[in-house]
Amino acid sequence: MKIGMPMAYSGGFNETVEELREFEAVGLDIVLLPEAYTFDSVSQLGFVAARTSTLEIATSILNIYSRTPSLLAMTAAGIDYVSDGRFVLGIGASGPQVVEGFHGVKYDAPLGRTREVVDICRQVWRREKVEHHGKHYDLPLTKEQGGTGLGKPLKLINLPVRSSIPIVLAALGPKNVELAAEICEGWEPIFYLPEAAGAAFGEALAAGAAKRPADLPPLQILVDTKVLISEDADVIAAGEQQVRDHLALYIGGMGAKGKNFYNDLAARYGFGDAAATIQDLFLSGKRAEAAGAVPPELVHGVALIGAPGHVAERVAAFAESGATTLNATPLAATHEGRVKDVALLKEFAS
């Protein structure tokens, strides 16, 4: 398995990138930079590309609404160029809270839009004259469709480093997971529980794989997790509390009742009653109680926290379930501790 790590999107960025070179030296394979309603990740990834030499660099994620499909393709080709072919385009639907609330763009048809975005991006990278007449995007826009009638099919001026840039889709819902398995090079789930992954995602992955074009490589699965390797019981307990708080925030607070993708996932993992309790507590302002209601089995299962032997066993469980990259957030209190944990993780995954 590859070892990845998410980067913070604010605060001390120069120092963070300098430290990133130490992670690169101990075997970190890929760094993923989030983009929410923050500084954009694109400009920062260009800086990361200039300061590193072997790391793959990825967006995690660019939403499919706030940039046009052609701009997403241009952006990916540009980062791939400055990084000498080390870029991975992570995309996703995000959610209406960000897309409508921050960007003022209607959040609709995530499945259909994603499929069309991927098609347009690949046309751009192949330097074809881009023509696409779908349900959600029309290129070029004709006068009948509200344009001036002056648009014409164009191809990318520059010669891309690669004619195919890997696309990773962040997805949790069955239909989105199926789409990732059908048309993308990779799939990125959050809160991945190896022992329950088959029940939660297996049917969707199989359905997508059955329609997957023969020219696409095997699907890569990049799973988000957290890592803290220690023999100290107090350190382990503190790390698990961070995971518990994080799970409670997402399961309880990321969306209204009936509109929370993470709550739905916890239910598919078999924790439906607990997920409902967490949400009720969180939405009523009882955050500590919500965190306390997160099942220990979920906390221990989605994270890599504990003594070296335990973490090595959990890494093997992730690999056995089909994960190909661990996108692991190090929780150690010091930079030296975080580098050590990534180096150990790389050793366990080899």
CA distance 336 to 328: 16
- Give me the sign of the Cα torsion angle 241, 297, 171, 187: positive
Helix-then-strand count for the chain, H and E:
14, 12
2-11, 26-35, 228-237: least confident range = 2-11
How is residue 103 written in tokens?
A: 């960007």
Q: Mean pLDDT across the stretch 58-64?
A: 96
Sorted by sequence, the CB contacts under 8 Å of residue 309 that are 6+ apart come out as none
Sorted by sequence, the CB contacts under 8 Å of residue 151 that are 6+ apart come out as 139, 140, 141, 142
Max CA-CA distance within the chain? 68
CA distance 70 to 325: 28
Q: What is the dihedral of CA 127, 133, 134, 139, to 10 degrees?
A: 60
The per-residue pLDDT for range 160-169, each reduced to its tens digit, is 999 999 999 9
How is residue 297 written in tokens?
A: 């089995």
**Continuous H helices in the chain:** 13-25, 41-51, 69-82, 96-99, 110-125, 174-183, 194-210, 233-253, 261-268, 272-283, 287-292, 296-302, 308-321, 335-349
pLDDT band at 94 (very low <50, low <70, confident <90, very high): very high
Q: How do beta strands 220-229 and 138-139 pair?
A: unpaired
Indicate the domain borders of the chain: 2-225+307-349, 231-306
pLDDT band at 146 (very low <50, low <70, confident <90, very high): confident
Helices 194-210, 261-268: inter-axial angle, 10-degree rounding:
110
CA distance 29 to 313: 21
Would you identify the CATH topology of the domain 2-225+307-349?
TIM Barrel (3.20.20)
The per-residue pLDDT for range 262-278, each reduced to its tens digit, is 999 999 999 999 999 99
- What is the pTM (predicted TM-score) of this model? 0.95
The per-residue pLDDT for range 158-211, each reduced to its tens digit, is 999 999 999 999 999 999 999 999 999 999 999 999 999 999 999 999 999 999
pLDDT band at 9 (very low <50, low <70, confident <90, very high): low
Sorted by sequence, the CB contacts under 8 Å of residue 250 that are 6+ apart come out as 190, 191, 262
